Amino acid sequence: MKAIRTLSLTALGALALAACSPSEKPADAAASAAAPAAADQGGVKLLNVSYDVARDFYKEYNPLFIEAYKAKHNGAEIDVQQSHGGSSKQALSVANGLAADVVTMNQTSDIELLENKGLVKSDWTQRLPDQAVPFTSTTVFLVRKGNPKQIKDWNDLAKDGVQIVIANPKTTGNGRYAFLGAYGYGLKAGNGDEAKAQEFVSALLKNAPVFENGGRAATTTFSQRNIGDVLITFENEANHVSKKLTQDQFEIVYPSYTILSESPVAVVDSVVEKKGTQEAAKEYLEYLWSEPAQELAAKLYLRPRNAEVLAKHQADFPAIETFSPNEKFGTWEEIMKKYFADGGLVDQLSPKK
């Protein structure tokens, strides 16, 4: 059964979130802000460089962590700043000198890039539970109230007359999961036939006239600019729309078969060693597995790793059949080369502009 959930929406301007909240900084400003030593009148300053649609979670998570940190360290001061953007663009910013203490991405390859640059140590997945993935999500469809184009599954996105809004698969984790979700469905529908899968994805991409530069940009285009019939995005982002826009405007469609997305986190060793923030950065990430943080994840429609917390919120997370990108497509290094590198399958299957 395909689950369709009616969403509630806020005022039109509510989702037009600034690129950075008062505690956030764009990449260039954050780099200069993070460069000084960690201690400032006895306080610690951390910079978390993250992907764009994670801003809502970390906006609420940071105060939770700061309160817990102060309680543990006898009121010691700590400040956490944020930088958000397309996941891979953010990783490149760190690789090029943005002094992040921690990175919280939506794709393992973004942290592997930093590992290959010598900024993150090779054991980063072993330092935290669940291979350093505190919560997961999946790719779903957001359609307009009443589902006027009768979108029920991936195959409906390839029909004539359907306009799709999607983040750029070449540069964003959100877009890559969407592309791989479609490709995985195509393989299943075609009994593993690569040619049939590519034909299906090519037809789907013809219905996506523009690739947006990030998941939140795609959301804004769809929900505020009123462009497109379907937004392909993360489950938590689709639910986030229901909290920011006025009621009864959109519905979520859960496809029959879709992709599991993971949000890995890591300490940027080269930065914290220079700043002396190793312990604070480690605590910041470890607290993501605390019950308050897992409850917050569930509240914001991220699927928590804590089984008890997940069970409490099971009604918010329909049971769906998902697949792991690594099990179906290989390592992220292989995936990036085959699908998302210049001249890869995204380029080959996208309509020529």
**Which residues form the domain of 178?**
4-10+137-261+317-349
Which pLDDT belongs to residue 247? Answer: 67
Residue type, 342: D
Looking at the structure, tell me whether residues 46 and 58 fall in a common domain: yes
Looking at the structure, tell me whether residues 310 and 322 fall in a common domain: no
Beta strands in the chain (DSSP E): 4-6, 44-51, 78-85, 102-104, 135-144, 164-167, 211-212, 230-234, 250-253, 257-262, 265-267, 303-304, 321-323
Residue type, 44: V
Cβ-based neighbours of 225, under 8 Å, separated by 6 or more:
none
Helix (H) or strand (E) holding 13: none
Looking at the structure, tell me whether residues 86 and 186 fall in a common domain: no
Number of domains the chain is built from: 2
Looking at the structure, tell me whether residues 236 and 339 fall in a common domain: yes
Neighbours of 269 (CB within 10 A): 19
Q: Are 138 and 320 in contact (CB under 8 A)?
A: yes
291: tokens are 């019950």
The CATH number for 61's domain is 3.40.190.10
Looking at the structure, tell me whether residues 45 and 90 fall in a common domain: yes
What are the C-alpha distances in Å from 133 to residues 48, 105, 107, 269, 288?
16, 10, 10, 18, 9
Looking at the structure, tell me whether residues 155 and 176 fall in a common domain: yes
Q: Which residue has the tokens 């991220």?
A: 302
Cβ-based neighbours of 123, under 8 Å, separated by 6 or more:
none
Looking at the structure, tell me whether residues 327 and 211 fall in a common domain: yes
Looking at the structure, tell me whether residues 200 and 337 fall in a common domain: yes
* Mean pLDDT in consecutive groups of 10 residues from the start of the chain, 353 residues: 38 36 44 40 88 93 98 96 90 96 95 96 97 97 96 97 95 94 97 96 95 91 94 93 74 96 97 98 98 97 96 93 96 95 96 73
Which pLDDT belongs to residue 241? Answer: 85
Looking at the structure, tell me whether residues 220 and 292 fall in a common domain: no
Looking at the structure, tell me whether residues 172 and 82 fall in a common domain: no
